[in-house]
Structure 1
Amino acid sequence: MTALAAAALFGAATPLAKALLDDMSPFMVAGLFYLGSGLGLGIAMIIRRLRTPAATRRPHRISRDELPWLIGAIAAGGVAGPALLMLGLSITPASASSLLLNLEGVLSAVIAWVVFRENVDVQVFLGMVAIVAGSVVLSWRPDDIGMSLGALLIIGACLCWAIDNNLTRKVSANDAMMIACVKGLTAGPVNLAIAFATGGFAAHSWHDAPTIGAAMLTGLVGYGVSLVLYVAALRELGTARTGAYFALAPLIGVALSFMLWPEWPSVAFWVAAALMTLGIVLHVRERHEHEHTHEWLEHTHRHTHDAHHQHEHDFPYSGDEPHTHAHVHPPITHSHGHFPDVHHRHPH
């Protein structure tokens, strides 16, 4: 459900971004989206900390070994990806851009399966194919397709985001809000700097406070909250499955567009909806169970005391669940249904 919620929020932001592009350059919109995300989540983290009793506060720190993964994710997805996308959008028809953006989910899954050895079975693969096929049907415009420079730039953006998704999975056990906040506070200023360097700071738009506020609020919800949910889904489902669910974002965006600008959906919309629904059903019906071994592991994340979290506490514990603290998983071998979540990244 978290992956679907992330897709819904991100998809809803797309038609709103289109409306904002009438008054701002693409880089300025992207910068304000990310900045609104980072600042909003930062304020939320401060409020969360103030509301947590001092005796039960546990630190949220990314380990030194995980920092390269996070830095790589920010560089690929927060800096290189948006830059390549905006450059590609400036010389590529919108319909072709929408079609090419479907490659993000495909490339994310390929990297997850080939490079990081995330498990995949026939049912999950077919579900991914159905969802991507639905995305293609939704955005297919045969007259606009071609391997122009703009198309190659957009494909490059998709590759950057696919790398971002897989690298973020490596740190997804950490506080999702902190990860999304750091990404926003890094990518926002970078994109605004690009807007400034390329003349995207139009005087009338920069001094239009309501428009700027709307952009930052849209970024907080469509990018910030969506990314928090996406990181949580990576923790529970793995990269390929989360990417498949997130591919529903274009369908949600189109559905919202129909509500904002009423018109009867085309046949392509219904075909795409049917294919994506089939893909979701195939994923939801997945049953992956076998005997597997958990190696010794120490990490920090939000958890309850289920079969994988039977541990003692070295601090005053009130019994409240779920809670967050550093804990150790001793080696154990057992069999149960599971996804490639943060505790089940074992070879097959």
Structure 2
Amino acid sequence: MSYIYALSAAFLFALSVPLGKTLLNSLKPLELSALCYLGGGGGLLIYKLLSGRAERGAGEAPFEKKDLPYVAGFTVAGGVLAPAFLFTGLNLSSSSAASLLLNFELVFTALIAVLFFKEHGGWRFWLAAFLVTAGGMALSFEPATATPGLVFVALSSLMWALDNNLTARVSLKDPVNLGIIKGLAGGSVTLCLAFYSGGVLPALKPLVLALMLGFVGYGVSLVLLIRAMRELGASRAGAFFGIYPFIGAALSFLWLGESADARFAAAFVLMGLAAALLLGEKHGHAHDHTAIEHVHSHLHDCHHAHVHGPAAPDRAAHTHAHIHEPVRHTHEHMPDSHHRHEHN
């Protein structure tokens, strides 16, 4: 199910590239960025209120003080800087070229995860990183497409990679709440910057369209991606989510009528091979789990074998504080929230 979450998130986010390019005819980059995130956060807030999640709870773990640095970090990186860089880049380059260069997010996410957050790399990862880099260089160094805008697109990829890793640290919390905070906080800051730089209130039609695009491409997409991160970790969820530039490029050809040349096709193939390498990865070895107590939604499995009272559910997903006893075992695993350990 985690793979479906990640791929669905990729498709919904990919819609923001060609549709965002179209909306740039009526909106400035900062205005569009702000409206997309406000649409994402505001739409999720409306969903939470109308669905009754606010009253009955969502069966998810609450925020703690230790989560605040991660929440602040991914809000600034992914909610303010990344979309501002992306839409600035889109304003200076073609939508299809930007879509493929966004594959750098996959590599940046994995590099940060491996170097700073103890996720496993391996030969598949490093080869995939090389292929994506080669594809990005083949694309961006073409005189016809190597515009300054692609630098901003690459910077947006780096910011979203940092966002992915910080979000993965709190992926056990309620993803709807995370999306609300990120969307409303990031969107509000960006909206202030837009007005400060001379922006004006847009016409009703592009305003509504931008909010709707934000709800689908930034709000719902983020919730699905966070659900995937719980089981796959930042780097692997990022690998599955990394298909969105291909979808974005295809949508750009269909929606905007942009054309592909041989260099674009070569970059497409290289990046496709990289995604395939990461998607086919297997990883298993003997590893240790240290004792830990935390709160999150879970089912009972080999990592959650604790005993409940007679009234507590054992087979349904449920949330409560629980203790993981120290254990050493061997099985295939992803770098999820329970498998962030050192590798030789």
State the TM-score bracket (shorter-chain normalisation). Answer: 0.7 to 0.9
Distance 1:140 1:300, change over 3 A: farther
Question: Greater CA deviation, 126-135 or 261-270?
Answer: 261-270
Match of 1:298 among 277, 293, 299: 293
* Structure 1 alignment gaps of length 5 or more: none
> C-alpha separation between the residues in 2 aligned to 1:339 and 1:50?
30
TM-score under structure 2 length normalisation:
0.85
- 2:312 — aligned with what? 317
Equivalent residues in 2 for 1:53-64 (5 A)? 54=56, 58=59, 60-64=61-65
Q: Name the SS for the 2:66 alignment partner.
A: coil
**Coordinate RMSD, CA, aligned:** 3.1
Query: How far 1:112 moved relative to its partner?
Result: 1.4
Give distance in 2, aligned partners of 1:339 and 1:7: 19
- Could you tell me which residue of structure 1 aligns to residue 20 of structure 2? 17
Name the structure 1 match of 2:338. Answer: 343
Mapped to 2, the partners of 1:340 and 1:124 lie a distance apart of 13
Give matches, 1:1-348, under 5 Å: 1=3, 2-50=5-53, 54=56, 58=59, 60-86=61-87, 92-94=92-94, 101-131=102-132, 133-134=134-135, 141-145=142-146, 155-202=154-201, 205-206=202-203, 208=204, 210-261=205-256, 267=262, 271-313=266-308, 316-318=311-313, 321-348=316-343
How much does 1:38 deviate? 0.5
- Give the % identical residues: 41
> Shift of residue 136 of structure 1?
5.5
The Cα offsets for residues 122-141 of structure 1, whole Å up to 9 and x where unpaired, read as 12332344455555556663
Aligned equivalents of 1:10 and 1:93: distance in 2? 19
Change (3 A) 1:317 1:98: same
Separation in 2, partners of 1:136, 1:155: 11
Q: For 2:264 and 2:152, how far apart are their aligned partners in 1?
A: 27
Q: Is the 8 A contact 1:127 1:279 kept in 2?
A: yes
Q: Is the 8 A contact 2:99 2:246 kept in 1?
A: no
* C-alpha separation in 2, matches of 1:50 and 1:156: 36
1:265 Cα offset (Å): 5.8
Paired with 2:83 and 2:254, the residues of 1 have a C-alpha distance of 28
CA–CA distance in structure 2, aligned partners of residues 231 and 84 of structure 1:
22
Asked if structure 2 preserves the Cα contact closer than 8 Å seen for 1:302 and 1:323, the reply is yes
When residues 136 and 13 of structure 1 are mapped into structure 2, their CA distance, relative to the original with a 3 A threshold, is farther
| Deviation of 1:163 (Å) | 2.0
Task: Work out the CA distance in 1 between the residues paired with 2:273 and 2:85.
Answer: 32
* Letter of the 2:30 counterpart: F
Q: Rate the CA distance shift 1:256–1:70 in 2: closer, same or farther, 3 A.
A: same
**Contact (CA 8 Å) 1:138, 1:251: kept in 2 or not?**
no
Give SS of 1:142's match: coil
TM-score with structure 1 setting the length? 0.84
Q: Which runs of 5+ in 2 are unaligned?
A: none
Assess if the C-alpha contact under 8 Å between 1:173 and 1:299 holds in 2: no
